[in-house]
Structures are given as C-alpha cells and as structure tokens.
A and B are shown apart, each in its own frame.
Chain A
Amino acid sequence: MKSGRTTRIVKEIKVDINQCTGCRACEMACSAYHAHPRYSSVNPAKSRIRVVADELNDEYVPIRAGDYTPSECNGRHIYTINGKEYSECSFCGASCPSRDYFVEPDSGLPLKCDMCESVPPLAEPMCVQVCGTDALTYVEREVEREETPQIKRGQIEIGLESLVNQHGIQAVIESLNQMSKARK
C-alpha cells in the first residue's frame, strides 16, 4: 500500500461582488451550455449559477450550485458587510427547498455545477468566459495533500459496516450467531 504526498488541482471561481453588474450573462451561458443538445435552448432557471440580486439593497452575488439538501436550515446568519445586510442564503449554493435555485424546473431534480468539465476541456467554465466585468475569474490551484493509505475493502465488509452503524455491533454479532446456528 502506497503512502506519501500527492498533488491535485483545485478549480476555483473567484467572485468579486463589487464588480458584478447583475447582468446574468453567466446564467444564460450556463443554461445554454448544459442544454441537450448543447446550446439548443436557453433557460436561466436551469442555470447552475444564479445571481442573487436585490436592487433595493444594492446586492448582487453570483452563487454556484452545490449539493442537494432535503430540508432547509433551521436558522440563518445575517451578515453585515460594508454596512449592507446579506442573508446567509445569498452565499449558499445548496439546492434546497427554501427556493427554486438549482432545481430542474420540469423534473424537480437538483442541479450541480460541474465546472463545465468536458472533452475536450474548456479553457474556463462558461460563466467565467461570458463575464464581461471580471466579477467571475477562474483560478486553478495546485494543492499538496497527505495521501492517507486506503485499505481496499470488499463488499461484505462495506455491507457489514453499514449494518453495524445502524444497529450496533452487538446486534449484528447476535444475528450472525443465530443465522449460523439455524444453518447447522
């Protein structure tokens, strides 16, 4: 088993909310790029990036679709940044029942940003390419990380572990004992 240090590429989209003009070109381009076939339709509701915009509060925050969550938060932070209040939701990329961002409008299935990974790869994700004001910039960062030795586990082991997690090890041992007695 190998161990040691390896590197991996972390893809980042940097957001400068002071540069965002709220034009939503990123939403347009994302939805077109992810349409099937590619570019065949435009629908910002299917975009995996949304600009949280509140003109009255001068708030413009592009957020990227992250993980699905089945329930909304039971509480939220309100952040004050440079004198303006932002809800925690303004920075959260979760596909969550509190709003209809990052949900396929027809099927209700969650959408997640894939950084436009494709073959051949794009130089930059679509949303960054179309951002004309540099509110979005793309950065690839190489990070070193400790490679922890991974033990390859078989299906039986994985299955047993989940049973143990659910019922406790004692219950699993007892069940196995009873099963083996019954088979004798």
Chain B
Amino acid sequence: MRYAETGFSLEIDLSRGSIEKVATDARDTALYLGGQGIAAKILFERVPPGTDPFSPDNLLIFSTGLLHGTPAPAANRTVVNTFSPQTNLMSHSLFGGFFGPELKYAGYDRIIIRGKAPDLVYLYIHNDKVEIRDATHLRGKGTTETGDLLKRELKDQKVQVAAIGLAGENRVYMASIDHNHASAARGVGVIMGDKRLKAIAVRGTKDLNLARPAELFDVCQRIHKKMAESSGCGDWMAVDEDDSFHHNHFAWGNARTRIKNYWSKELQERWTKWKYDHMDRQTGCYNCPKKCRNVIKWPGRPRFGYKCFGKDTYHMAAFLELDFSYEILGVAQEYGVDSYSTPQVIAFALELLEAGILTDKDFPGMPADSKGRFFYLLEKIVRREGIGDILADSVSHAARRIGNGAEKYDHNTTKKFEQLPIKLGKLNPAYFLMIATGEKMSITQIEGSFPQDPLPTREQREEFVGKWEAVPDEKFKKYFLEWEKRSDMSDERTCDIVDWNEAMHYIDDSIGTCGFVSSFRGQFGGDVPYHMNNIPRIISLATGIEMDKEKLWKAFQRIRTLVRAVNVRRGLRRKDERPPEDHWAIRDEKYEQELLSKYYAFKGWNREGIPTRQTLERLDMGYVADDLEQRGILSADESMPA
C-alpha cells in the first residue's frame, strides 16, 4: 500500500477523448517527492524539447503535493506545470484552496493533460468516475462564476473547481487558472485555454492512508496550534494596514517611478476604512488556521479575494488609490488574469502612447482618465481586440511585435517575464543571483528563508539566532551574527544563502505546503512552523519513506537540477540570466558575471549554467546526462563543473 499518496495519475488526452488511470512508480516519490518534482520528470521524459507550447503534445499537469490530504496543516497548494508560450520555458505556478487535497481524496496524485479538445470542455472527476463534458454553455463565463455554475449543474456544493475565464479562453499569456479566490498565474491559464479546457471539477470521498498515523496526527496538531498562535507565519499584510513598504519602495506605472514619501497617516486611515467597510471576512485554505485572504465586495463589482501585494498592483500601475484596485480586482478575477503582470502590460501600453510609439488610432474610444483607460485596456486584452491582441502576448512579445523603439520600454522583464516593479540603488548580490537564475520567474517564489536585512546590533542578532529553529545548518547562524551591512557578505556565503532560499521553495512546491508558513516567511522574522528540521520527520510519518535532512536536501538539489535540465534543453543559457538592467542603479558587469560563475560552480553546473554529468550522476540522474550528451548540449569535455 502507498501512504500519503494514492499511487495513481489521471491521464487525459483531450484530442482523442481518452481517460486512463495509471499506476505510478513509488521510486519516483522517493527521489522527486511529488508536486513540481515529479511534474518536472514527466515534462522531461514526455515533452520533446522542440515542442511548441501551443502544440497538442505540450502537457498541462495539475499536481498534488506529497503531503496534500494528510493532517499536515497548510499542505494545500496545487501545483500547475506546463511549457509557457511567453518564456518558452517550464511554467511553474501554484494555487491555494482545496483542489489538491480533494484530488487526493478522489484517488489521484495528479492530472496529466495532453492534446486539445475540438471545442470547450470541462473535466468532471468523482472518484473513479471521470468524464470529459461539453462546456460550450460556460463560454465567456467568469472564473468563480464557472465554479458556481458547475456546483449547481453537478448538484454538489463540495465539488472543487479550477477554471479559466475569458482571458484563458482567448489564450492571453497573462491568463490565470482560478479556484474560488485563489489563482495560479505565470503562464498556465493560456495553455489550459489552448487545450480548450474550461474547467476541472473534482470531488473525492476516498480515504487517504497514512504510514504512522497517530504520531503524525500528534506532530501535525502541534504545528497547527503553533501556526494558529504565532504571528511569525501567515500573511501579515492581511491585517497590517501600514503598507508604506510597497508604496514608498516599489515603482509605480510601468515599473518606472518611485514615490518615496507617498505613505501618510491620513491615507492609511482612509484606505483602512475602505477595506473594513467592504470586507466580508478573511478566509483560509484547506486545513490551515491562518486567514491570509481578504474577501472584498465592492459595490457593483464581483466579490473577490486577495492577499499580499495583490491589492497594490493595479492602483500603483495606474497612479491611483486603493479604491481603484478594489473596483477592478473583482472584474480581473472573473476574466482570469494575473494581477502582477497584467497591470504592467497596461501601464506599458499607456507609456508607448505617451511616447508616440502607439497613437490614439491604436486606442479607439479610450477614455481620457487613468481608471477608464485601465478598464478599457483590460477589456481589449481579455478579448484580444485591436491593440489588446498584441498586448495579450505580454510586455516582451508585444514590444517586439510593435517595434519602432517599443523594445526599450520592455525594461522590467527577465526571461521575457514581468518582474516585480522593484528599482533600487545598490546591487544586492543574493537578489542578483535569485532573479538571474530563478526558474520560478517571480522573486516571491525564490526568496524567503534568510532575512532580507541584517539587524543593527550584535545583541539583537544574538537574540534572533537564539530562537532560530529553521536553520538547516549552524553556519547560517554564524553568517547572520557576523552580518552588519546588507552588501557585506562573501560570495561563498551568498551562494549558500541563495541555496537555502531555493531549497525551501523547491521542497514546498513538491510536498504542497504554503510559502507563508514555510519558504517565503522566514525572511521576515525567522519563526516559521515548517523547516528543514521538521519536514523530514513529517514526510517519514506520512509516507513511510525514510527521510532525513540530508536526503531531503539532496531531493531539493535533484529537483532544482532537473528543472534546470528541462529548461536547458529548451535553450536556456547564461546569456538569459540577467535581472532587468535598471533593477539596481549601480551595476558592475564584471563582478556580476564572476558571481554568476561562482554560483554555477557551487551548483555543479558548467559555465553556461548546464548541469554537468558528474553533478547529474551524483543526484541519481545519469539518464539526464545521457540525454543532454545525445543532444550535444553537454560534451564529454564540458562535463566537469566550471
């Protein structure tokens, strides 16, 4: 018997209309855990590197994490992977809520979708009953609206639905996949739409078996209690009304303008009133006591939920205030677009208009005010009408299609993906490496375990380190104790820190735990309930697989390296690993390239950022080395680390 996982994948071919329940190999679980780890292996093995993301041969994979459905709290983030037309690389996204655990209870660890349906369909999964059903009646329906309609149609309030909106249907690159008020961004909605898959509705009523249940339940209840009581985890931004951090430090418009003293007490009072006058409640995800999502009902607009920086992106791109974000977010949620990249695409278009590269003729009937323009362009983009058809391909591709100097306005992307609008002074080495080499595309998915900034006094640092349970190795305590100025960190230590930050995200995204109680949260206070010192035992108790810190760290390295190999096969090279040129005002190309080389060597990759045979074999992936050599990507003399 398999514990904590079901041992089955659901394989759907939408071109042929076939449905198969396929038993999986338990050895993959031991090596790649689940979630993104196993999805990367499937993409490596089954999607040839030359495959166009819009080809029927591209796969769209919805994965549960290894701990989904177990008593482990906050293990609920569903992982979505595919190849993105925006980056032409592996797309990695996540959404919270209830979908992943429900899929486990239905008897599957993941859904692997290939092919394309002739017209819109939805997938209905109720335990062993799986059907591809007509969804033409849902065409153009909003994301949560679709969820609601399917619950009625299936006469089951407990069915969990993930759906695309109009943006996904129209293959907008910024399209998201939405589940209740949770959303998966970064290039997955476009492929769901391309496959003509409007929604997946899942309902499961089967038992999930556990290896050492009584001990596991006890450990998990302790963590649950700690989570409930601690202010060191969850999204503090859901309750902290002082958002001076984003508004004073992040850039407005098309990631251009900083307004350093924007925040004021008067503004905070006004915005807080807007929030509490319109907030229904705060909600949580499956089996998690935190309430990170604020649910807002703005008059005349659909109810929506947001967390974190998601409430700021629209009004900062539009140079407006919070009430504008509250007004547009519900509309954008129903269309199913990413709230991080979409406002940047709109601000980019308006900048081109101001610069004369686009003209009024490109925007027929557009209102003169900022709010009206954002609503206008949102409509154009999700319908791919007029200029919206070009903008729907995201900033980088749109800039190239428009030409005439528009490329210069594509200044905030890395690997053709919109980055957070952060424009700072002096280079931060760890952040340079994370943004340059990150394959999760957004810094929020890479940073998070080691604090962003040092504490001012030795006493404070000692106090911090004294309570620091999350450190995987004592050396990190030493690094922190000796750290006085932000930029004052050796390259070797910087590589170690980046490695730990990455490790936690790769583990979270394979076992399904949420970054707000794990990988993302340690940088703000260090007190996270999940860390390298307790996750191995939880995995052991849940799955029966013998796991310890060293094995888990190796699993991270294996998954990280496999994702790199997947992308290397599709052409990712050193030249692509560049943060936006204006991310920092002061740059030093020579130093940055030296640092990048050190990081590659640290990872066991060659000068081009390609994992060497030695590294791949150490991580039990000789088959990857063979493949890279057969394709001429690695040659025998390049096989040693740089």
Do A and B interact? Answer: yes
Given A32-B213, A39-B210, A132-B228, are A25 and B288 neighbors across the interface (CB < 8 Å)? yes
> Hey, which chain A residues are within 8 Å of B282, CB to CB?
21
Query: In A117-138, which residues have CB < 8 Å from any B CB?
Result: 129-133
Chain B nearest CB from A23 CB (Å) reads 4
- Determine how close the nearest CB of chain A comes to the CB of B251; give it in whole angstroms: 33
* CB of B359 within 8 Å of the partner chain: no
Say yes or no for B221: interface residue by CB 8 A criterion.
yes
> When the two chains form their complex, are residues B289 and A39 in contact, meaning their CB atoms are under 8 A apart?
no
Q: Measured between alpha carbons, how far is A21 from B181 in the docked complex, in Å?
A: 13
A1 CB to nearest chain B CB (Å): 47
Residues 42-78 of chain A, each 1 if its beta carbon lies under 8 Å from chain B, else 0 = 1111100010111110101000000000000000000
Within 8 A of B (CB), among A85-124: 99-100, 105
Collect the chain A residues with CB atoms within 8 Å of residue B148's CB.
56
Q: What is the chain A residue whose CB lies nearest that of B295?
A: A58
With A25-B73, A42-B70: A32-B217 Cβ-Cβ less than 8 Å: yes
Contact of B157 among A18, A40, A43, A54 (CB under 8 A): A54
Q: Render B280-296 as a binary contact track against A, CB cut-off 8 A, 1 for contact.
A: 11111111111100010
Contact B73 A42 (CB under 8 A): no
Whether A42 touches B289, Cβ cut-off 8 Å, given contacts A22-B283, A56-B144, is: no
Choose one: A21, A45, A132; the contact of B227 (CB below 8 Å): A132
Tell me if B45 is interfacial: C-beta within 8 Å of chain A: no
Q: Does B442 contact A (CB under 8 A)?
A: no
Q: Could you say which of B73, B181, B208, B227 contacts A43, with CB atoms under 8 Å apart?
A: B208
**Contact indicator B224/A39 (Cβ below 8 Å):** no
- In contact, B181 and A55 (Cβ under 8 angstroms): yes
Q: Chain B residues near A23: list those with CB within 8 A.
A: 283-289
Inter-chain contacts of A45 with B (CB < 8 A): 105, 158, 204-206
B71 surroundings in chain A (CB, below 8 A): 28-29, 32, 39, 42
Return B595 CB to nearest CB of chain A, in Å. Answer: 42
Contact call A55/B144, Cβ cutoff below 8 A:
yes
Asked if A40 meets B213 with Cβ closer than 8 Å, knowing A55-B144, A133-B291, the reply is: yes
Whether A21 contacts B209 by the Cβ 8 Å rule is no
Closest CB of chain B to A153's CB: distance in Å?
Answer: 43
- CB-defined interface of B132-161 with A at 8 Å, one 1/0 digit per residue? 000000000000110110000000111000
Q: Are B280 and A58 in contact (CB under 8 A)?
A: yes
- B594 is an interface residue with CB less than 8 A from chain A: no
CA distance A60 to B209 in the complex (A): 28
B552-567, CB under 8 A of A: which get 1 and which 0?
0000000000000000
- B283 to chain A minimum Cβ distance, whole angstroms, is 5
Q: Is A39 in contact with B216, judged by CB distance below 8 angstroms?
A: yes
A38 lies within 8 A of chain B by Cβ:
yes
Contact A132 B224 (CB under 8 A): yes
B129, chain A: closest CB distance, angstroms = 13
Known A29-B71, A55-B181; judge A18-B281 contact (CB<8 A).
Answer: yes
Chain A residues, CB < 8 A from B225: 132
Chain B's nearest CB lies how many Å from the CB of A10?
A: 27
A59 to chain B, nearest CB (A): 10
Chain B, interface size category, equals 35 or more
A21 contact from B180, B291, B303, Cβ within 8 A: B291
**Which A residues are in CB contact (< 8 Å) with B283?**
21-23, 55, 60
Contacts of B285 in A (CB 8 A): 23
The answer to whether the Cβ of B297 comes within 8 Å of any Cβ in the partner chain is yes
Mask, A9-36, CB within 8 Å of B = 1, is 0000000001001111100110010010
Closest CB in chain B relative to A155 CB, distance in Å: 42
Q: List the B residue with the shortest CB-CB distance to A58.
A: B280
Q: Which chain A residue shows the least CB distance to B280?
A: A58
Cα distance, A43 to B204, chains bound together (Å): 9
Q: Which residues of A contact B73 (CB under 8 A)?
A: 25
Interface size bracket, A side = 35 or more
Asked if B69 is an interface residue, CB under 8 A from chain A, the answer is yes
Instruction: Check B217 against A21 for contact (C-beta < 8 Å).
Output: no
Are B217 and A39 in contact, CB atoms less than 8 angstroms apart? yes
Q: B145 — which chain A residues lie within 8 A by C-beta?
A: 56
The reply to whether A132 and B280 contact each other, CB–CB distance below 8 Å, is no
B98 on interface, CB distance cutoff 8 Å? yes
Determine if B207 is an interface residue (Cβ-Cβ < 8 Å). yes
The answer to whether B205 and A43 have CB atoms under 8 Å apart is yes
**Residues of chain B from 487 to 544 with CB closer than 8 A to chain A in the complex:** none
Which residues of chain A are within 8 angstroms of B228 by Cβ–Cβ distance? 132-133
* B214 x A39 contact (CB < 8 A): yes
Bound-state CA distance A38–B297 (Å) is: 42
A148 is an interface residue with CB less than 8 A from chain B: no
Measured CB to CB, the closest approach of chain B to A103, in angstroms, equals: 9
Distance between Cα atoms of A98 and B593 in the complex (Å): 66
Whether B208 and A28, one on each chain, are in contact in the complex, defined by CB atoms closer than 8 angstroms, is no
Q: Is the pair A105, B144 in contact by a Cβ cutoff of 8 Å?
A: no
The residue that A41 contacts in the complex, of B204, B207, B280, with Cβ under 8 A, is: B207
Chain A nearest CB, measured from B153 CB (Å): 15
Distance between Cα atoms of A164 and B493 in the complex (Å):
89
For the complex, give the distance between the alpha carbons of A132 and B105 in Å: 23
| Chain B nearest Cβ from A40, distance in angstroms | 5
Closest to A25 in B: B287
- A45→B225 CA distance, assembly (Å): 24
CA distance A105 to B285 in the complex (A): 24
CA distance A60 to B281 in the complex (A): 10
A40 / chain B contacts, CB cutoff of 8 Å: 209-210, 213
Give chain B nearest CB distance to A114 CB in angstroms.
Answer: 18
What is the chain A residue whose CB lies nearest that of B288? Answer: A23
Q: Are A28 and B287 in contact (CB under 8 A)?
A: yes
Are B224's CB and A25's CB within 8 A?
Answer: yes
Complex contacts, B204 vs chain A, CB 8 Å: 45
Q: Considering the chains assembled together, what is the distance between the CA atoms of A39 and B156 in angstroms? A: 27
- Contacting residue for B207 out of A43, A60, A131, A133, CB 8 A: A43
Give Cα distance in the complex from A16 to B291, angstroms. 15
List residues of chain B with CB within 8 A of the CB of A133: 228, 284, 289, 291
The reply to whether A56 and B303 contact each other, CB–CB distance below 8 Å, is yes
Docked Cα-Cα span, A128 to B206, in Å, equals 24
A119 to B73, CA, bound (A): 27
A156 to chain B, nearest CB (A): 46
Asked whether, in the complex, the Cβ of B105 is within 8 Å of the Cβ of A39, the reply is: no
CA distance A45 to B126 in the complex (A): 12
In the complex, A53 Cα to B159 Cα: how many Å? 11
Chain A residues packing against B (C-beta within 8 Å): 18, 21-25, 28-29, 32, 35, 37-46, 50, 52-56, 58, 60, 99-100, 105, 129-133
Can you list 11 A-B pairs with a CB-CB distance of less than 8 A? Answer: A21-B284, A25-B287, A32-B71, A43-B105, A43-B206, A45-B204, A55-B144, A100-B205, A130-B224, A132-B227, A132-B289
Given contacts A29-B221, A41-B210, 18 further A-B contacts (CB under 8 A): A18-B281, A21-B291, A24-B98, A25-B287, A32-B213, A35-B213, A39-B217, A41-B207, A41-B208, A41-B213, A42-B207, A43-B208, A45-B158, A58-B295, A60-B283, A100-B158, A132-B228, A133-B284
- Shortest 3 CB-CB contacts between residues of A and residues of B: A132-B289, A132-B228, A45-B205
